Amino acid sequence: MKEIIDQNLIQDHNLKNSKSLEKDFEFLGEQLQQRGIRIEEIIQKLDSFMIAIPSWGTGTGGTRFARFPGIAEPRNTFEKLEDCSTINKLVRCCPMVSPHFPWDKVDDLKELKEFADNLELSFGSINSNTFQDQPGQTHSYKFGSLTNVSKEVRNQAIKHNVECIEWGKVLGSDSLTVWIGDGSNLPGQQHFTHALERYLDSCSQIYESLPDNWQMYLEHKMFEPAFYSTVIQDWGTSVLCAMELGPKAKSLVDLGHHAPNVNIEMIVARLIQFQKLAGFHFNDSKYGDDDLDSGSINTYQQFLILNELVDAEYRKAKGFNPAYMLDQSHNVTDPIESLINSSVEVQRSYLKALLVNREKLQGYQDENDALMASNELKLAYNTDVSPILAMYRMRAGGAIDPIATYRSANYRKNLESARPSTNSNSSGIV
């Protein structure tokens, strides 16, 4: 396969910016030194902070009103991987792709794995899909999947999840993410307890098929597509189910799936404490499950969440090994640009959280000095870590300015003839 983003182009761009970056990096290094922080130690931490790209995020999303496709959108899984590789070449923190089945189903999974290997990509958590009916499907999920009142429907949904595990094994993944759209639209429609009993029964059958080294991520969501009640509506229900299922089952936190104003960082702390934090779907939101770009609205909240994660990392909290993924819908931007920006924004929050002086913070907490404790967090949050992010990318072979470099590559234009539009401008949230 031909090189889509030319490494020389990245180098050329970097050459133009590297002098001023060196200066900024050195200056920031001196500033941090005065706070007792070694910049080289901080930058090294980024080596192990990697964020998976959702395969479905590479296509233009949409709302239930319309979808406005862009040019040269990926038309199949291979092309989605090409876009993921382009993102990773520029940012160097996204070497994993989280696939969604059956959307990403291909005839030959081994071929897909080889294709990914050649692009230096690996596969993150496998997402199953029982929230839609597929062409030719025997039973409909209109009234639920894993929790449906009909055993036949439940069995079909269980079978799909077990297949996802099988496919994931070929791809080298080690986790299954289960998000269901099951719930109800009117009070009285569904018996809350019986529905959850059915969920647990179905999930325990899926759980039995997990290989020893696999985990099962249970993703909750407060509403949508069910608008009165959702079976796995919040982290409480999800963690109860994870505890019921066993140690391989954990709770996945999608930042957009909570009630408004919920203290998400505290949920994260609780899940860590009980070794039940599976990982994240990063995105941002203003009103609900908006799936906006990470760090575009509530950057302080994102920082506070990452602060809990860094705290757990430094404490070496038992069983702490969260998977990081983006889960966004890009309706008006080029998805590649949004995913570039978003991965860097999550990295940014992580870096800032690394700057918190945890000894000092602990001291303020022990003295009940609320104001200084808050100021300690703010000091880290208000530090501009852009030079560290850019330096990390440059040293790793990525772009100092990934968006400018991407734009100068004319990526979409160059691919326009190879990826003709499929004219699918139908509505739908993807």
Site residues (vs Mn ion, CB under 5 A)? 254, 281, 289, 327
Residue 281 structure tokens:
């779907």
Please list the residues that pair with 97 across neighbouring strands.
Answer: 53, 123
Residues, the chain, total?
Answer: 430
Residue for token pair 């809350």: 192
Please classify residue 396 by burial: count the beta carbons closer than 10 Å to its beta carbon, then call 0-12 exposed, 13-18 middle and 19+ buried: middle
Helix (H) or strand (E) holding 127: strand 126-127
Give Cα 368 to chain centroid, integer Å: 36
Q: Which partner from the list ligand AFD, Mn ion, none does 101 bind, CB cut-off 5 to 8 Å by kind?
A: none
**Is the CB of residue 294 less than 8 Å from the CB of residue 51?**
no
If one asks whether residue 160 binds ligand AFD (CB under 6 A), the answer comes out as no
Closer CB to Mn ion, residue 258 or residue 393? 258
**Count, residues near ligand AFD per rule CB under 6 A:** 10
Nearer to Mn ion, 124 or 398 (CB): 124
Using CB under 6 A as the binding rule, whether residue 281 contacts ligand AFD is answered as yes
Give the residue with the Cβ less far from ligand AFD, 160 or 281: 281
CB of 63 to ligand AFD, least distance (A): 13
Residue ranges in 182-221 that form contacts with ligand AFD under rule CB under 6 A: 219, 221
Among 77, 127, 296, 349, binds ligand AFD (CB under 6 A): 127
3-state secondary structure (DSSP) of residue 281:
strand
Selected binder of ligand AFD within 141, 179, 303, 381 (CB under 6 A): 179
* 56 contact choice in Mn ion, ligand AFD, none (CB below 5 to 8 Å, kind-dependent): ligand AFD
CB of 278 to Mn ion, least distance (A): 11
Show contacts with ligand AFD in window 293-352 (CB under 6 A). 327
Give the three-class secondary structure for 284: strand
In angstroms, the CA 125 to CA 99 distance is 7
Residue number with CB closer to Mn ion (14 or 296): 296
The least distance separating ligand AFD from the CB of residue 393, rounded to whole angstroms, comes to: 27
One DSSP character per residue, 347-399 reads HHHHHHHHTS-HHHHHHHHHTT-HHHHHHHHHHHHTS--HHHHHHHHHHTT--
Q: Under the rule (CB under 6 A), what is the footprint of ligand AFD?
A: 56, 127, 179, 219, 221, 254, 281, 289, 327, 430
